[in-house]
Amino acid sequence: MPANTTASSGSSGSAGGKTGKKKGRRARLIVIVLVLALVAGIGYGAFWSVTTVRASYPQTNGSIKIDGLTGNVDVKRDSYGIPQLYADSDADLFRAQGFVQAQDRFWEMDVRRHMTAGRLSEMFGSGQVDTDAFLRTLGWRKVAQKEYDTVLSADTKKNLQAYADGVNAYLKGRDGKDISVEYAALGLTNDYKPTKWTPVDSVAWLKAMAWDLRGNMQDEIDRSLMTSRLSKKQIEDLYPAYPYDTHKPIVSEGAISPVTGKFERNATPTSGIGASTVQGATEGVNAQLASLSDTLDQIPALLGPNGNGIGSNSWVVSGDYTTTGKPLLANDPHLAPQLPSLWYQMGLHCRQISATCQYDTAGYTFSGMPGVIIGHNQDIAWGFTNLGADVTDLFLEKVSGDGYQYDGKVKPFVTREETIKVAGGASRHITVRETNNGPLISDRSSELEKVGQKAPVPSAAPDRANGYAVALRWTALDAGHSMDAVFELNRAKDFPSFRKAAEHFEVPSQNLIYADNKGHIGYQAPGKIPVRKTGDGTMPSPGWTSKYGWEKDPIPFDKLPYEYDPKRGYIVTANQAVIDENTYDPMLTKDWGYGTRSQRINDLIAGKIKVGEKISTEDMQKMQMDNTSEIATKLVPELLDIKVSDKSVREAQKLLEGWDSKQEPDSAAAAYFNAVWRNILKLAFGDKLPKEMRVKGECLTVLPADSTGPVDEQDKPVRECGQRDADSAQPDGGDRWYQVVIKLMDDENSDWWKAPKHRKDKATENRDQLFARAMKDARWELTAKLGKDMSTWSWGRLHQLTLKNQTLGTEGPDLLQRALNRGPWNLGGGEAAVNASGWNAAGGYEVIWVPSMRMVVNVGDWDKSRWINLTGASGHAFSAHYTDQTDKWATGGLLDWSFGTNAVAKSTKDTLTLKPS
């Protein structure tokens, strides 16, 4: 037993009854298998016993004395290991939160803090040096330190310190192998030892989430890359305008008042305002920008792919239209699948609310951060989706010696030296250079030293010489108040206090949805969103002139859109446009999600209201699992009209007859349609994109990059191979591509439907020929993947989710990966469906992002709310709670969510009391 704890009647977590016994037996079997695997297969000469594997399991019954508490804290866990904490002061509550999260998830927490600080090489060796160098250049940890030192409130800092003290109370006296089995594995090659947790470790994680949800940076890079092959008109074809006529924005009531200059929900929009569409002076950057894209691909899988599909669903329905008579609120954020899940379910309860104990809240937290991120308290509920505001810009910089040019003068770089310690090797040293637009991210890549070498720029631009450098301007690199906002949300009691908290939620910029127990519903767009002097942020801008760049102050909070009790009785946010840009200024972004999911949710809710049906908790749950493919509803009639002579292809085509466009896991029609969709995209667009955007290693014969268009025949073809990670290659098949194809459907002879004649096996002249070719290619692709017998085909067999331990489960020895990872699961749903199990059409059918959790909050009758996590409460690979929610999650199931004291008592299976030392 570690030196700082004293236990009585202790046990490692167990669920009661038959379920608990089954889970216990299964866990024991997994432990035995792991031990045998490690002894037999890894070969480092180490012998791991069952005791080694179990050493890190948390104590969940009895009592433990820990330093710093002023009173007892009860930790009550249900049969899924989800803890509810009860304390008598804020300090004790957050100290206990730190202790309990460290019990379950410290390995995850430790890896995260090393990632945000650019210190992964200290744990995993030289393979992480480039990633560390890039993250040091961004300076997440430096900004987090500044926030803690100069910006955050005194109360927030007290809570962060209490949380850190709780984590350190857990660590005291424990070796790595006593904390998590991964440390035992790491110890075979590395003498790494965990160090104390600090408050800044918690703050820095918000920077990682902001990076994951940073908006249109990849689109900015991609548009620039396209200039090497496509004309301005062709690029515009691939980035169509948002379809306001068919996909409703979030806010449809209110406008900027011409009298007050603020956004007011009763003001009347003035049509034709429009956000600025002035283009930057540079219409593109040379293809070396692909190097930056490659660098972004190397950021750890903890953050996952960043693309058009990444987002979330949330919606709230007024009690006027629900069976409960009170609002119902649903939320499911979409993120890369992670093991353990990004989210940690938890309740934080003061036994009695007072000035010294202010919290009674429950929901989803991040391991390593105090408070609740998404959930409810006794008065209000709230959810998040990604707003998608454009908060990043790339700037071309003309470097001159030790400085950079700006308005005709050379300004000195702001520099700092960084030392990267490397496990098992010599330390590396880098110099970070910053301009007034931000750090030079091109310094982290030898290829990027030549960025801008061929960029069309004004005649007044500085001599490009060997090319321009690239700087990143990003709102998250400025110190902010987002950590304050977390605690303010947890304490909010009504819409005014909710909006006050939202004002401080600067980064990442999120759609905040709201409901309260008095029956009100609402929405607020928060965030630090820049105002550009010139241009719209869709292309890299000249950094050498003050005509570009950002204004000193971002968009004022009182100009940002919000809604409160809208007349229609519901609010939907699913990454669509916040408000019609033709009636609203200033500009939030030019790169919204295209609203496929949001419009489907709008239609489902409106359809029930129209026929007078009340919406229940079960209805909200069914909506979350809606699998409908919007693009299938548009394309299938066209595909069925095509005459097919090949008997085998005709057999596959018949699968689409009578199909309802539902992407169920057992559907052969869904499998075939999605294969056809993938091949349509590849033939029409993918094969015409520059190699920097195509899947790494996939080679084809193309026309030279200086050809005048995608079907130009005047040049001799060349062989080129793709360079991008499969998870982020294009065309990814998201709802931007839905709009691209829908807009081209009526033009049967568009150049996009024409495959070049030099590719004789794929040559097509019009839309129907290309569709016919896609159906043929899809038939033989699925024959290779699923077999010749179509009766055995199913979407789930193609569309599988494998959960991977985010460190050793992706980079460790194969045998260790198999021991730490779980799956696969055959899933339904798909890209741009409400049940958003995302896949990249350029890369394949594997699930690469998911609803990372789901909840339906029954406002006012909190104990009837329901929730689910992607994996489980525990980060211990052989715990019964490692993935015990995944089976239910995969089929759309939800767990009961106890909140009130009596409900929690009834659901409690284990009780641990933390006592003052």
pLDDT in tens, 361-380: 999 999 999 999 999 999 99
Alpha-carbon gap, residue 774 to 695, rounded angstroms: 19
CB 635 within 8 A of CB 677: yes
Q: What mean pLDDT do residues 765-783 have?
A: 97
Q: What mean pLDDT do residues 184-195 have?
A: 83
Q: Which has the closest alpha carbon to 594: 741, 446, 792?
A: 741
pLDDT-derived band at 750 (thresholds 50, 70, 90) equals very high
Contacts of 618 (CB under 8 A, 6+ apart): none
15-24, long-range: CB within 8 Å, 24+ apart, which pairs? 15/79, 15/80, 15/81, 15/880, 15/909, 16/79, 16/909, 19/79, 20/79, 20/880, 20/909, 23/880, 23/884, 24/880
- Asked if pLDDT for residue 565 goes beyond 50, the answer is yes
Alpha-carbon gap, residue 214 to 675, rounded angstroms: 30
Q: What is the pLDDT of residues 575-632, one digit of tens each?
A: 999 999 999 999 999 889 999 999 999 999 999 999 999 999 999 999 999 999 999 9
CB 282 within 8 A of CB 454: no
Higher-confidence residue of 398 and 38: namely 398
The pLDDT assigned to 763 comes to 82
The pLDDT assigned to 450 comes to 33
Alpha-carbon gap, residue 554 to 619, rounded angstroms: 40
The pLDDT assigned to 31 comes to 44
438-439: strand order across its sheet = 414-420, 428-435, 438-439
Tell me the sheet residues that pair with 541: 395
Q: What is the pLDDT of residues 578-591, one digit of tens each?
A: 999 999 999 999 88
CB 234 within 8 A of CB 219: no
Percent of the chain scored above 90 by pLDDT?
A: 68
The pLDDT assigned to 427 comes to 95
Give the C-alpha distances (Å, rounded to integers) separating 370 from 74, 99, 508, 714: 17, 11, 17, 62
CB 594 within 8 A of CB 242: yes
Neighbour tally for 612: CB within 10 Å: 7
Alpha-carbon gap, residue 625 to 328, rounded angstroms: 16
Higher-confidence residue of 804 and 55: namely 804
The pLDDT assigned to 563 comes to 97
Q: Coil, strand, or helix at residue 743?
A: helix
Q: What mean pLDDT do residues 464-489 have?
A: 88
The pLDDT assigned to 449 comes to 44
The pLDDT assigned to 2 comes to 41
The pLDDT assigned to 341 comes to 94
- Asked if pLDDT for residue 529 goes beyond 50, the answer is yes
The pLDDT assigned to 819 comes to 83
- H helices of 153-273, in order, are 154-171, 181-186, 199-212, 217-226, 232-238
**For residue 115, which amino acid is it?**
M
Q: What mean pLDDT do residues 202-221 have?
A: 81
pLDDT-derived band at 789 (thresholds 50, 70, 90) equals very high
Q: What is the pLDDT of residues 428-443, one digit of tens each?
A: 999 999 999 999 988 8
Q: Which of 48-52, 159-163, 775-779, 842-846 has the lowest mean pLDDT?
A: 48-52
Higher-confidence residue of 858 and 35: namely 858
> Which stretch, 46-60, 289-303, 657-671, 712-726, has highest mean pLDDT?
657-671
